[in-house]
Amino acid sequence: MEQRRSFIKDLLQSTEVDREVNAKGWVRTKRGNKQVAFVALNDGSTINNIQVVVDMANFDENLIKDITTGASLSVTGTLVKSMGQGQSVEIQAKEIEIYGTADSETYPLQKKGHSLEFLREIAHLRFRTNTFGAVFRIRHAMAFAIHNYFNDRNFYYLHTPIVTGSDAEGAGEMFRVSTFEPGKEPKTEEGKIDYTEDFFGKETNLTVSGQLEAELGATALSNVYTFGPTFRAENSNTPRHLAEFWMIEPEMAFYDIHDDMDLAEDMLKYLVKYALDNCIDDLKFLENRLIEEEKSKPQNERSEMPLIEKLQFILNDDFVRLTYTEAVDILKNSKPAKKGKFQFPVEWGIDLQSEHERYLVEKHFKKPVILIDYPRDIKAFYMKQNDDGKTVRAMDILFPGIGEIIGGSQREENYDKLSARIKEMGIPEKDMWWYLETRKFGTVPHSGFGLGFERLVLFVTGMSNIRDVIPFPRTPKNAEF
């Protein structure tokens, strides 16, 4: 009788031995001698492999030859207590079927470790490594936990459009969406491209944010969130930026900026705790990988604490909350400022530079920091204006090593103030009529924020390049796979 396939994760936890089982997966390593071979098999259900013991006497020599790193197998045999050290159970193979061989001369993955840069060039195969297996299992867990978190708190998952007709958000350069043939665009009498002839009858782009649409949902459903792809055509070449990334944007009616911060902090802690509770094997692996990697670095470039401790540390303490103005005072009185070490001098009104944020988070407070009440001139039009006439109710959450992980604000709900600000900033009012109408009819105080999903995964996995926490990174000059 055909044995039903078990996941390796379940087999490894099983105490029920001396029974026939079937496992399917990919070979990580094979070792042994003329009498017996040991095959480490992995099926992605866990970072751990199951050891398949092959008594050479029972199998065709050519079959065993084809079992090389990367080959895919179905193994039927007896789950037994391991005779060797290093694992509690193993499969004594009775039957082995090879689905696909992997020519050892040309298969790019080896038993030994590869650099992340090399693996990025073979992103179609990197899932098969321990590191990327761990990263993408954790990425899944975080996505799942986000839906859990919101579902448990009366939030509705709102699907905002990927193709948008408004370019008012001002969140960055956009990718145009058009069905015009390049070079053959119809022209108006003035010689400009005539978008009324285009598929949507107007100029359209890929979304840079679902926030404005989410606000519309929140003014009826109370609490909504979006979780979808976001596109920015910025020529950003850093380990923290992607042209295509995923963003979570909750939007809550009747929330002020303090409720907004409470939610953001609670959610981040929930997600970190979820990873610790559900992904500990993968986290342990990533922690060790990091320790190994940092051995070759000088002392001062190594992390201050191991990954798991760093995650636990986030849970234990409240995030520091202070105003932009207070932060500027701290920076002005800081050692680096007095010694002229900052490349950019600190002055009230400037947008804080990376070096300033890093000082606050990594040197001064040594914990996550939430900054609020930024100068209105450096923030978006929709943020609620404070009574001082100078600042807005914005909040940024800064994480060590990541920088801004969340950016949010209380929204301006006053029609007159909002439309005045739109005019002031030269945003085409005719494109914003629908947004403004939510302030005309039954307006409510409301708030929201945007969480960069990859930045979250970056923090939780301890990886250092954002291109290694999304399966197929899209960056300037790179859309391979």
Partner RNA sequence: UCCUCAGUAGCUCAGUUGGUUAGAGCACCUGACUGUUAAUCAGGGGGUCGUAGGUUCAAAUCCUACCUGGGGAGCCA
Q: Which of residues 298-327 bind RNA (CB under 7 A)?
A: none
SS3 content of the chain, % helix, strand, coil (to 5): 35, 25, 40
Where b means 16+ CB within 10 Å and e means fewer, 116-155 reads beebbeebeebebbbbbbbbbbbbebbbebbeebbeeeeb
Give the integer Cα–Cα distance in Å for 69 and 100.
11
User: Quick one: which of 15, 237, 299, 316 contacts RNA (CB under 7 A)?
Assistant: 237
460-473 as b/e: b if 16+ CB within 10 A? bbbbbebbbbbeeb
Determine whether 332 is exposed, middle or buried from the number of CB atoms within 10 Å of its CB (0-12, 13-18, 19+).
middle
Instruction: Give 21 or 195: the residue with its C-beta nearer to RNA.
Output: 21
Orientation angle between helical segments 415-424 and 433-440, nearest 10 degrees: 160
Site for RNA in 336-375 (CB under 7 A): 344, 351, 353-355, 358
One of 450, 460, 462, 469 touching RNA (CB under 7 A): 450
For the chain, helix (H) and strand (E) counts, in that order, are 14, 17
Which CB, 303 or 353, lies closer to RNA? Answer: 353
Within 16-55, the residues that bind RNA by CB under 7 A are 29, 31-36, 38, 40, 51, 53
Q: Dig out the tokens for 122 from the structure.
A: 């073979």
Tokens of 395: 């909040």
* Residue with Cβ nearer RNA (198 or 268): 268
CA distance 261 to 238: 27
CB of 65 to RNA, least distance (A): 7
Measured between alpha carbons, how far is 451 from 175 in angstroms, rounded to an integer?
A: 21
239 contributes a contact to RNA by CB under 7 A: yes
Of 198 and 263, the one with the shorter C-beta distance to RNA is 263
Between 259 and 404, name the residue whose CB sits nearer to RNA: 404
List the interface residues with RNA, window 82-121 (CB under 7 A): 82-87, 90, 92, 104-105, 108, 110-115, 117-118, 120
Task: Pick the binder of RNA from 232, 310, 384, 439 (CB under 7 A).
Answer: 232
Per CB under 7 A, contacts with RNA among 128-147 are none
Count of CB atoms situated within 10 Å of the CB of 206: 19
* Residue with smaller CB distance to RNA, 195 or 209: 209
- At closest approach, how far in Å is the CB of 192 from RNA? 25
- Residue 209 interacts with RNA (CB under 7 A)? yes
Half-sphere exposure of 288 (CA within 13 A, CB side): 8
Torsion of CA 90, 91, 93, 94, to 10 degrees: 140
Q: Is 77 in the site for RNA (CB under 7 A)?
A: no
With CB under 7 A as the contact rule, the residue among 454, 457, 459, 461 that binds RNA is: 454
Site for RNA in 148-177 (CB under 7 A): 171-172
Site string for RNA, 244-273 (x = CB under 7 A): -x-x--------------------------
User: Interface with RNA includes 69 (CB under 7 A)?
Assistant: yes
- Least distance (Å) between residue 476 CB and RNA: 7
Residue 108 vs 428, nearer CB to RNA = 108
The phi, psi pair for 349, rounded to 5°, reads: 115, -20
* Structural tokens at position 113: 């470790």
| Closer residue to RNA in complex, CB, 222/236 | 236
Out of 126, 128, 139, 240, name the contact with RNA by CB under 7 A. Answer: 240
d(CA 356, CA 35): 64
Given 167, 404, 431, 437, the residue binding RNA (CB under 7 A): 404
